[in-house]
Structure 1
Amino acid sequence: MPKTLEDESRAPVRSGRRPRVASVPRAALLIGPALVAGVAYLDPGNVASNMTAGARYGYLLVWVVVLGNVMAWLIQYLSAKLGIVTGRSLPEVLGERIRNRWGRRAYWLQAELVAMATDLAEVIGGAVALNLLFGVPLIWGGLITGAVSIGLLMLQANRGARTFEFVIMGLLVIIAIGFSVGVLVAPPDPAGLAAGLVPRFEDAGSVLLAASILGATIMPHAIYAHSALARDRFPDPETRALPTGVLVRATRIDVTVAMAIAGTVNLCILLLAAVNLAGVEGTDSLEGAYAAIGATLGPVIATLFAVGLLASGLASTSVGAYAGAEIMHGLLHVRIPLLLRRLVTLVPALLILWLGFDPTLSLVLSQVVLSFGIPFALIPLIALTAKRGLLGTWRNHWATTAAGIAASVFLITLNGVLLWLVFTGA
């Protein structure tokens, strides 16, 4: 990313000059936390939102995917920088600074609801994928997805952050292949793709989907989680071997790689739908999209799509549960057993599956809920990373803060317009 986002001339806290990453291979060894957090940008909610946008509006909302990914780079970088420099997660810092007990509980409640909406999307996505691949009933698919996520979290707790990162990155490769192959087989129209980069809306439905895409792209729990992942990977700023400058620079590479993968895959999902599903009946659901892809591109591409959806659900629900546990610990200063917490957050998703609600509609609406939780995570993140007293010389450059404020204003405005359209019936 452009160096203007951070003042490259500032000296680090611990030495007289800003250290540089010695080499690309050395920096590569530090990559990992952003790739894990980036899985949140490829969860089943993203699939449903982007697939629905492409099927209904063709290339219209390409610009939303691109803009969301650009904003996500800045936001995830700031989150990781906070964790590296302070050695604490965003929920921990907020838990210390929100003095009023009821204010802290209220903030935790909205963050917890956002985490539950995240879990809803991820468990439902995994259940749908198992149903498509093996005919597993949705309720049992939800239970299997939840059980696998518990196993992955226990792996993280017992084997450490690095092992967890490798497993999640392996799933990320499967996700990327599953959702991207179809675009290579049936490439988009260059003129249509270029037209989709022009910001515009068509109707209230396109605004709803834009908010859903942004809620799925800039996810509040990913903001909370990334600071904790960076803290766990590079603990204790006072005693760790590598200087803060090396870690911050490596984090920029980490975030750039993660967001490049996430942005490309999200765009491929929308383009896959725009090319193959536009105007096709029944493609407003994941099941219908799977059937249409199979009919248009063949069973191999459809199977790869379903496998990508399954990997997406398994990986992202693990990261979501990790974020939820960190939110509770940081804001309420309590820890509950991992199994108990996982079972509690599984209940809403399993209830929806059991009652037979439309899984795809539930996924899209869950992403809209996430979009309304963005300001509560984003505004404190920007404010905290701009404080000299907290980050010292690693505080935000004024251009970084300005870019963060612009992103916040855009997201809050879009949500306001969405509310107005919904309640006025415009």
Structure 2
Amino acid sequence: MPKTSLPVSPPRSRAAGSTRGVALLGPALVAGVAYVDPGNVASNMTAGAGYGYLLVWVVVMANVIAWLVQYLSAKLGVVTGRSLPELLGDRLQHRAARRAYWLQAELVAMATDIAEVIGGAVALQLLFGVPLVLGGLLTGAVSMVLLAVQGRRGARPFEFLVIGLLLLVTVGFLAGLLVAPPDPSAALGGLVPRFTGSGSVLLAASILGATIMPHAIYAHSALARDRFGSAPLRLGGDPEPRTRTPIARLLTVTRWDVTLAMVIAGAVNLGMLLLAARTLPGVSGTDSLEGAHAAISAQLGPLIGTLFAVGLLASGLASTAVGAYAGAEIMQGLLRVRIAMPVRRLVTLIPALVVLGLGVDPTFALVLSQVALSFGIPFALIPLVVLTAQRSTLGRHANRLWTTAAGVVAAALLIALNAVLLWLLLTGS
């Protein structure tokens, strides 16, 4: 009988492999929206207006730390096929402990939502004169639409929409640099770590606190799980990938995904600080979003001011959708409770609407929300570093020693700086 040769698949070209790699990008870009939310806008614009180029080094350092934290979160979702809240829900055996952990995480998610809804409401008022409460409702309504796309059409369409908003954020916040480029030598000088008084320390801690957000850690692990997470780890073995792409390849793509996201977020954050340092020093009223917008419009023209407001609106819309996604994941992972997303969205929208309805200064409310977020950082960061270091959790993909050491240093630094932030705010120093 003649031998029948089996068909041999043609080798994939390098171009085909690259195309496949590009198609796997996305989760980090969605999570990266948390790094350019209205809280970041307030911190960076205030820092640039008040201290010029002094705190450029803080923005750069925050982005380096953010890269490590977000990669660890994504790796957890890719390898285990579970989110951080799900894994913690399994490990917290006592119901009281699980509920206590959920409560702090839920409060963090709600504090995030307050900042993002307020940012969207302020942007709508700047662009169209919409009252703040109505603007908050509209921001919440748009976030419901984005979440409905994620629920009905899957992760990929949701990613495309959020990435589109991220592009608007990038254009809106960086356009001013084309009209008023920063002083290169002064910007490079800002890379030297130093402070000038307690006010600069407070702003440095605010920038770091606004950059590393607990909800972004929870969300990124879930986003990575939804796209290409593995089956749960078998005892004594390695995970079984749900996709045909090997886990090692997925982790390589994830590193590129996180790098791209952090480059974009870092450029936007740095651009905001440089723009404020170039155009706003000595200008009164720039300690609020409205004042910064007015000053930018006066200094650089109404077109740049409008683009800034559009960037703020896109920031609020995208980040509030991601924040609501994170909140739903927190509840489902820790309490095993799933609430219809529109209902949850309405409930978490109430605190922001109350703040707006009471007439609280929006920028002041943004600052307070960042303080609240600082309380949740240890509860997200420490378990993340511990879980990704365990072979029982990630198998052969567990952290190497230097990665765990870097994670411990980053967690300790962020916790210490947020403690400084709280101390300065409470003592009025």
Fold conserved between structures, TM > 0.5: yes
Indicate yes or no: 2:195 matched with 1:192: no
- What's the Cα RMSD here? 1.4
| Deviation (angstroms), 1:236 | 4.3
Is the alpha carbon distance of 1:365 and 1:209 closer, same or farther for their aligned partners in structure 2, counting shifts above 3 Å?
A: farther
Runs (4+) of structure 1 exceeding 6 A deviation are none
| Deviation (angstroms), 1:424 | 4.2
Unaligned runs of 5+ in 1: 1-19
Indicate yes or no: 2:419 matched with 1:416: yes
Q: Which has the larger radius of gyration?
A: 2
C-alpha separation in 1, matches of 2:372 and 2:16: 43
Indicate yes or no: 2:360 matched with 1:357: yes
In structure 2, the residue matched to 1:304 is 307
In structure 1, the residue matched to 2:392 is 389
C-alpha separation in 2, matches of 1:397 and 1:22: 31
Question: Which of 290, 309, 314 in structure 2 is aligned with 1:287?
Answer: 290
Alpha carbons 1:212, 1:365 under 8 Å: kept: no
SS at match of 2:182: coil
In structure 2, the residue matched to 1:244 is 247
TM-score by length of 1: 0.93
C-alpha separation in 1, matches of 2:364 and 2:259: 31
In structure 2, the residue matched to 1:404 is 407
Alpha carbons 2:169, 2:314 under 8 Å: kept: yes
Question: Which of 46, 49, 53 in structure 2 is aligned with 1:52?
Answer: 46
CA offsets, 1:203-242, max 9 Å, x none? 3322222222112211110000000000001144334211
Indicate yes or no: 2:66 matched with 1:108: no
SS at match of 2:181: coil
Indicate yes or no: 2:76 matched with 1:82: yes
Indicate yes or no: 2:92 matched with 1:98: yes
In structure 1, the residue matched to 2:19 is 25
| Deviation (angstroms), 1:246 | 1.1
CA offsets, 1:286-310, max 9 Å, x none? 1111111111000000000000100
Q: 1:144 is aligned with what amino acid?
A: L
In structure 2, the residue matched to 1:64 is 58
TM-score by length of 2: 0.92
C-alpha separation in 2, matches of 1:397 and 1:235: 21
In structure 2, the residue matched to 1:327 is 330
Farther off after superposition, 411-420 or 340-349: 411-420
C-alpha separation in 2, matches of 1:406 and 1:160: 36
CA offsets, 1:125-168, max 9 Å, x none? 00000000000000000000000000100010001100001111
Alpha carbons 1:214, 1:371 under 8 Å: kept: no
Tell me how many residue pairs correspond in the alignment: 407
| Deviation (angstroms), 1:21 | 11
Indicate yes or no: 2:144 matched with 1:150: yes
In structure 2, the residue matched to 1:8 is none
| Deviation (angstroms), 1:324 | 0.2
Alpha carbons 2:79, 2:229 under 8 Å: kept: no
Indicate yes or no: 2:163 matched with 1:169: yes
CA offsets, 1:322-368, max 9 Å, x none? 00000011111111111111111111111111111111121122122
Is the alpha carbon distance of 1:364 and 1:419 closer, same or farther for their aligned partners in structure 2, counting shifts above 3 Å?
A: closer
